[in-house]
Chain A
Amino acid sequence: MSELIMQALYSGVLQGGSYALIALGLALVFGTMKVINLAHGELVLLAAYMAYTVESRFGLSPMFAIPVALVLVCICAVLVYFLISLIRKDRELNSLILTYGVGIILTNAVLLIWSADVRSTSSAWMQDALVFGPFYSMRSEVLFFVVSMALMGGLWWWLSKSWYGRAVRAVSSNRDAAKLMGINPRTTEIVSFVVAGILAAFAGVAIFSYGVIQPAFGHALTVKAFIITVLAGIGSIPGVMVGALLLGIAEALTVTLASSALQELVGMGLFLLVLFVMPNGLFGAAGRRG
């Protein structure tokens, strides 16, 4: 039994790292603009399909797709921003409808270009088992867990130490006051969308490297990212990490101790419980520690 639980914890941690990578971009944009980008999952998926194209067309490792995915996804992210910036009234609400529509367009574009087939990496190196004592995983899972942690650390440093990062936080706290301090909110918002695009690009390549992708998969990614963002509390990077790990571990333990059929239920139950007990999320404004 202990071996089962240890493996479940390990799988949960790795899965949590993957969730964190998907959720970071959404959390950043939510924190900056109070906008839930419902097309975020589709941006992640776009990067995953770039990895598929690079691997299937050129026979290269999915890792080589990262530069191409970065450019394409960042361009798409900025386009989404420009569409959102056209909203004149009730931006928070109307952006939901707008980005949901963008998500549908992107899903169907992916379907038209890459067809509805199930895709995944054929790289043997990525899929090979990596065994540490009683812990089993694929190499790609560990690799992208490390990448996820590094990106999270980098983002935390960028937000707390760099000028632009602090500008993002300032706009997030008080847009008008930031303006008075000489910060251009529009530029700052574009920067946060670009950074979200960068994170989505890495997340997409990661998903292709250890999972399975299909055109309709983007929506599920957005939902997962949204749950973690709410669990974390608006704009909290450590919160995203804790929320994602919590969700990953809760799901893995549910599978091990009960049934996988209950996995999604437990995730949603956790989400509702946190909303009920801590409406601002685990690390939200009221009790932010990060």
Chain B
Amino acid sequence: MNRISSKIGLVAAALSLHVGGAFADEILVGAEIPLTGSLARVGAGMHEGISVAVDVFNKTNGKHTIKIVTADDESAPAKAIAAVEKLAGDGVVAITGGYGSNNIGPASDAANKLGLPYITSGGVAENLTERGYKTFFRINNTAGYQKAMVGLLDTMQIKSASVVYSTKEATADLAKDVEKELAAKGVAVTLHAFDPAITDFKPIINKVRLQDKPEVIVMVGYENDYVGILRAAKVLKPKVKAMVGVWSLATPKMASDFPDLMPSVYGTALLPFPAEFQTEEGKRFADTYMKLYNKAPDYLGQFGFVQSMILFEAIARAADAGTLKSGGIAQELARTDRQTLIGRVQFSDKGDNLNFVHRMGQHQDGKIAIVWPSDAATGKMNFPGVPW
């Protein structure tokens, strides 16, 4: 009896040591993200992806456990700095998150000063990587969106386009880059900047309709802008062959919330809808997302997941090497080279993803078909085609 008791005691002691070990290896990671304010929707979407990454990593890694500490930056640059400083005070070893280049800029400045690696997919302004920080990494960039939009317009073989874009930093950068590349290809392009506060787009679309008379209207903005532009276009009915947008447009949410405005509209899309995941990681991501949020994943969740998984893996490698607190995470991140849900990720010495190229999707009968590039296409492009 005594021998049995002592064996049980040993097993219990071993188990308690194991549990104790697991707690000792719990690593804090900060998520600085807008959960309130004007970017709350996109911030919440990215945060869902981060939470899915934590769940997947903790279940599959076995050795290290990640715990997320979230700080809401309220969609404001000053609050983003405060959020990073708070997270540093909480003892995080790195930061994932950030949305909006104007928030990510100062937040990653603060992280760099504190020696914290910062990884994001929420800001594509070019100056973010021009700073040359060794602690800053992002998995997407303007060039990837630009390639996808120009590639689609090339396929359409258009001769003229009007680019309607928000004056926010990332959208203005992208619009001007797209304009430059199209102009170099001999396409006549007219730019129309709009203030982010604008609600009535009819005067702009009327200028496009009566003065520019383009073949395609290119929209570079955000969800509320797209709805406004498409509404105005539906009223004024300019004689164009296509309405092409960028992020936040070819999404299941837009398809279900604005079914009358979306038919035949194009936007960047990583996946078709309904989503089809082929890889083991993709299936695990989709299952966990469904389990946690009871809905199909979208691109925001996907980006949040990818950036966080890359970071968690780098943290695990640095922890194994014993360099967690001596710059090892940034070094491991810089060495990243792996296939992810958004394609291969490798970072340049400035922290930009060298391989990022987006795809273009089109709303078709309440679904989203990938129509560019041709090797990833899941459907045929409905061209010419507009919602009215």
A interacts with B: yes
- A: which residues have CB within 8 A of B? 3-4, 7-8, 11, 14-15, 107-108, 111, 115-120, 122, 124, 127, 129, 136-138, 210-212, 214-216, 220, 252, 255-256, 259-264
The CA-CA distance from A211 to B37 in the complex, in Å, is 19
- Residues A127 and B234 in contact in the complex (CB < 8 Å), given A116-B41, A211-B199: yes
Binary contact track B166-208/A, C-beta < 8 Å → 1, others 0:
0100000000000000000000000011110111101110110
The CA-CA distance from A138 to B223 in the complex, in Å, is 20
B258 touches A4 (CB 8 A): no
Q: Which residues of B contact A120 (CB under 8 A)?
A: 227, 257-258
Question: Which of B44, B194, B200 lies at the interface centre, i.e. has the most chain A CB atoms within 10 A of its CB?
Answer: B200
Q: Which residues of A contact B235 (CB under 8 A)?
A: 129, 136-138
Question: Which of B195, B236, B237 lies at the interface centre, i.e. has the most chain A CB atoms within 10 A of its CB?
Answer: B195
B195 touches A212 (CB 8 A): no
Q: Smallest distance from the beta carbon of A14 to chain B beta carbons, Å?
A: 8
Taking residues whose C-beta sits less than 8 angstroms from the other chain, chain B's interface range is 35 or more
B61 CB–A CB distance under 8 Å? no
Majority secondary structure of chain B interface residues (helix, strand, loop or mixed): helix
B193 touches A117 (CB 8 A): no
B198 touches A7 (CB 8 A): no
The CA-CA distance from A14 to B210 in the complex, in Å, is 21
Identify 24 residue pairs between A and B in the complex whose beta-carbon atoms are under 8 Å apart, listed by A's number.
Answer: A4-B207, A8-B203, A11-B202, A15-B199, A15-B200, A108-B36, A111-B36, A116-B41, A117-B257, A118-B41, A129-B234, A136-B206, A138-B235, A210-B231, A211-B228, A212-B199, A220-B197, A252-B203, A256-B207, A260-B193, A260-B195, A260-B204, A261-B193, A264-B195
Near A by CB (< 8 A), chain B positions 85-124 give: none
- Residues A263 and B260 in contact in the complex (CB < 8 Å), given A120-B227, A138-B235, A256-B207: no
Q: Which residues of A contact B200 (CB under 8 A)?
A: 11, 14-15, 252
Q: Which residues of A contact B374 (CB under 8 A)?
A: none
B253 CB–A CB distance under 8 Å? yes
B75 CB–A CB distance under 8 Å? yes
CB nearest to A224 among chain B residues: B197
B127 CB–A CB distance under 8 Å? no
The CA-CA distance from A8 to B200 in the complex, in Å, is 11
Q: Which of B193, B210, B224 contacts A118 (CB 8 A)?
A: B224
B40 CB–A CB distance under 8 Å? yes
Q: Smallest distance from the beta carbon of A289 to chain B beta carbons, Å?
A: 29
Q: Which residues of A contact B385 (CB under 8 A)?
A: none
Q: Which residues of A contact B199 (CB under 8 A)?
A: 15, 211-212
B282 CB–A CB distance under 8 Å? no
Q: Which residues of B contact A263 (CB under 8 A)?
A: 194-195, 197-198
B259 CB–A CB distance under 8 Å? yes
A115 touches B204 (CB 8 A): no
CB nearest to A119 among chain B residues: B257
A261 touches B167 (CB 8 A): yes
Q: Smallest distance from the beta carbon of B93 to chain A beta carbons, Å?
A: 29
B211 CB–A CB distance under 8 Å? yes
Q: Smallest distance from the beta carbon of B222 to chain A beta carbons, Å?
A: 8
Q: Which residues of A contact B36 (CB under 8 A)?
A: 107-108, 111, 215-216
Q: Smallest distance from the beta carbon of A6 to chain B beta carbons, Å?
A: 10
B228 touches A260 (CB 8 A): no
Q: Smallest distance from the beta carbon of B23 to chain A beta carbons, Å?
A: 33
A256 touches B40 (CB 8 A): no
- Residues A4 and B75 in contact in the complex (CB < 8 Å), given A116-B44, A129-B234: no
CB nearest to B235 among chain A residues: A129
Q: Which residues of B contact A4 (CB under 8 A)?
A: 206-207, 210-211
Q: What would 8 more interface pairs be, CB under 8 Å, given A117-B253, A211-B228, A260-B193?
A: A116-B43, A118-B257, A122-B259, A127-B260, A137-B202, A212-B228, A215-B40, A260-B192
B323 CB–A CB distance under 8 Å? no
Q: Smallest distance from the beta carbon of A62 to chain B beta carbons, Å?
A: 15
Binary contact track B223-259/A, C-beta < 8 Å → 1, others 0:
1100110010011110000000000000001000111
Q: Which residues of A contact B203 (CB under 8 A)?
A: 7-8, 11, 252, 255-256, 260
Q: Which residues of A contact B193 (CB under 8 A)?
A: 259-261
